[in-house]
Amino acid sequence: MGLKQQQYINGEWTNAISGNTREIINPYNQEVIATVPEGDEEDAKAAIVAARETFDSGEWATTPATERGSIVRKIAELIERDREELARLESLDTGKTVEESRGDMDDIAGVFRYYAEIADKDGGELIDSPVPNSISRVVHEPVGVCGQITPWNYPLLQASWKLAPALATGNTLIMKPSEITPLTTIKVFELIEEAGVPAGVANLVLGSGNTVGAELSSNTNVDLISFTGGIVTGKKIMQAASVNVKKLALELGGKNPNIIFTDADFETAVDQALNGVFFHAGQICSAGTRLIVEESIHDEFVSALVERVKNFKLGSGFDEDTQMGPLISAEHLAKVEQYVETGRKEGATLAVGGSRPEDPELQKGFFYLPTIFTDCTTDMSIVQDEAFGPVITVEKFRTEEEAVKLANDSIYGLAGGVWTSDIVKAERCVAKMRMGTVWINEFNLYFPHAPWGGFKQSGIGRELGRLGMEEYTETKHIFQNLQPEPINWF
């Protein structure tokens, strides 16, 4: 592998201080594909010192925004140049199809391009002053040292949502990718170096959450934590980050409802209900795993889903006809199996799937059959808990009010969808749905200009769009009196 299998701290490629390493496993066949440093608290501390000193020197923060934008644009160009290599690396590491990974790489380059374009568009704002002969203005400045922690499902896409706005706004950062999928993030740090980001600005530490991640969250020299991952980890980070009242951006899980009305275009709704869940074997925070279907088409809709699901082609992400790859790890496969077992015990009806595939070719990989449960109700834990696997639960509704009530019955509020040809009805539903993103006659569409994030326990703050950049800035009000005079009160 032509990849540097190292960390990147203060402009140097390094091994872990302890000398420890971790093997990275291909989820398709359990072969070792790389051996990378297993950093810990000491590596995190070294990176934090580098990021702190670099930020405090002021050099990067005061680099003209146009220049920072050009460097971020250069990273986009390098990602486009190395698109195929990156896509194949992502598929090797995660098991997803190469075609899907190519799409990810295009999205990632788009994210860097978007933040490059808007890097120098925020010149601050003059605001009305109550004092004659004075200037009152608002400027945005970088927050400082940012800790960035990402999950394993969309390793580089999630990293890009954090790296691009942090760099564009003049912060320094320490990135910690998921310990099981670090490869494309390492590769992008090679590109960050090649693009000319100064030493100490962007640092990469590899290792686990309870060592490197916990150090980033609790170290008082880190000013901001941006985290994407599970709700339990998010709560731990929130607690740890209180030590110095860090700014926090949390992108947590989702259990996303997808409401199908009888008057929706049937074929399109079936097709997109499948797309909304089974990409990357359902390991998507915004997967539409809670289907809420109007009673009058429920049976027909479920039959159509089941027919399609039976013909899914599972296999290697490197085979052109593969539609769905494996789950990420043995541990995660066990969790999904347990979730399905719970569904059976709770009395849901298994319409299709519900086991590992029997195909001998797939036995070395962490495969699970696409699965659909019907007769689901909101009191079941399978309707409330995130499966993060290829499993759909289907609920029935009779009225519009009931559909919205079911959709909102969740601790999560990440995303949701509504399928109907009645646009007025769609708008009525959307106005009541408590989620950060709602799609009408669409599912799972992201783009760099639109903010992404959750209501309720799906998180705090937003990524992407202008708001995703504002997370990385502090707001300063500057007031200048051009004609100061004594007040003569005392």
What's the closest the beta carbon of residue 287 comes to ligand NAD, in angstroms?
Answer: 9
What's the closest the beta carbon of residue 230 comes to ligand NAD, in angstroms?
Answer: 3
Query: Distances in Å between the alpha carbon of 466 and those of 77, 156, 455, 462?
Result: 21, 20, 18, 9
C-alpha 187: how far from its chain's center? 19
For the record, the structure tokens of 109 come out as 């380059």
In the complex with ligand NAD, the residue whose CB is nearer, 208 or 384, is: 208
User: What SS3 class is residue 195?
Assistant: coil
What's the closest the beta carbon of residue 156 comes to ligand NAD, in angstroms?
Answer: 12
State the residues that interact with ligand NAD by CB under 6 A.
Answer: 149-154, 158, 176, 178-179, 208-210, 213-214, 217, 228-230, 233, 236-237, 251-254, 285, 386, 388, 414, 459
In the complex with ligand NAD, the residue whose CB is nearer, 287 or 372, is: 287
For the record, the structure tokens of 230 come out as 């599970």
Beta bridge partners of 463: 452
In the complex with ligand NAD, the residue whose CB is nearer, 65 or 467, is: 467
In the complex with ligand NAD, the residue whose CB is nearer, 151 or 357, is: 151
Annotation says 251 is catalytic: yes
**Which residues, at least 6 apart from 105, have a Cβ–Cβ distance to it below 8 Å?**
79, 80, 83, 86, 87, 90, 156
Beta bridge partners of 408: none
What's the closest the beta carbon of residue 370 comes to ligand NAD, in angstroms?
Answer: 19
State how far the Cα of 227 lies from the Cα of 19, in Å rounded to an integer. Answer: 27
Beta bridge partners of 389: none
What's the closest the beta carbon of residue 319 comes to ligand NAD, in angstroms?
Answer: 26
User: What SS3 class is residue 329?
Assistant: coil
In the complex with ligand NAD, the residue whose CB is nearer, 152 or 339, is: 152
What's the closest the beta carbon of residue 327 comes to ligand NAD, in angstroms?
Answer: 11
Query: Distances in Å between the alpha carbon of 396 and those of 298, 373, 376?
Result: 7, 12, 8
Annotation says 285 is catalytic: yes
In the complex with ligand NAD, the residue whose CB is nearer, 148 or 374, is: 148
State how far the Cα of 197 lies from the Cα of 181, in Å rounded to an integer. Answer: 24
What's the closest the beta carbon of residue 41 comes to ligand NAD, in angstroms?
Answer: 11
Helix%, strand%, coil% for the chain, nearest 5? 40, 20, 40
Residue with tokens 């986009």: 76
Nearest to 147 by CA among 35, 257, 240: 240
Which of 41, 90, 215, 285 is flagged as catalytic? 285
**What's the burial of 229, exposed, middle or buried (CB within 10 Å: 0-12/13-18/19+)?**
buried
Nearest to 416 by CA among 231, 299, 273, 233: 273
Beta bridge partners of 292: 259, 395
For residues 39 and 8, the answer to whether their CB atoms sit within 8 Å is no
In the complex with ligand NAD, the residue whose CB is nearer, 12 or 331, is: 331
Which of 251, 400, 463, 471 is flagged as catalytic? 251
Scored b (16 or more CB within 10 A) or e, 371-395 reads bbbbebebebebbeebbbbbbbbbb
What's the closest the beta carbon of residue 151 comes to ligand NAD, in angstroms?
Answer: 3
In the complex with ligand NAD, the residue whose CB is nearer, 54 or 444, is: 444
Q: What are phi and psi of 282, to 5 degrees?
A: 75, 5
**Are β-strands 224-228 and 247-251 bridged in parallel, bridged antiparallel, or unpaired?**
parallel
Q: Which residues carry out catalysis?
A: 251, 285
